[in-house]
Amino acid sequence: MDNNKLVKTVMESAVLVGLAAGIGYVGKKMLKENFLGDPSSSLSNYGKLTLVLAGSMAAKDYLEKEKILPKNI
């Protein structure tokens, strides 16, 4: 793997983890539910985690489209 690809992958992962943590935190504060709980404990937690990750990917794509986040390093 090229060094530039590695840096890009790490940056994209960090952005997605940050967005997921932020969305989970806001969801927990607003709805008083844990959105980042252990997904193996119940189907409901799995669905909530999937929703948070899908929202994070959509937010990342939107921020890149609006040129708020850089698309390429």
Banded pLDDT at 58 (limits 50, 70, 90) = very high
Q: List pLDDT tens digits, range 18-45.
A: 999 999 888 888 888 887 778 788 888 8
Express as a percent the part of the chain with pLDDT over 70. Answer: 95
Helix (H) / strand (E) containing 60: helix 43-65
23 CB-near residues (< 8 Å, 6+ apart)? 35, 52, 55, 56, 59
| Confidence category of residue 54, pLDDT binned at 50, 70, 90 | very high
* pLDDT at residue 18, rounded to an integer: 92
pLDDT value, residue 7: 85
The closest of 49, 42, 43, 57 to 27, measured between CA atoms, is: 49
Write out the H or E segment, with its range, that includes residue 12: helix 3-31
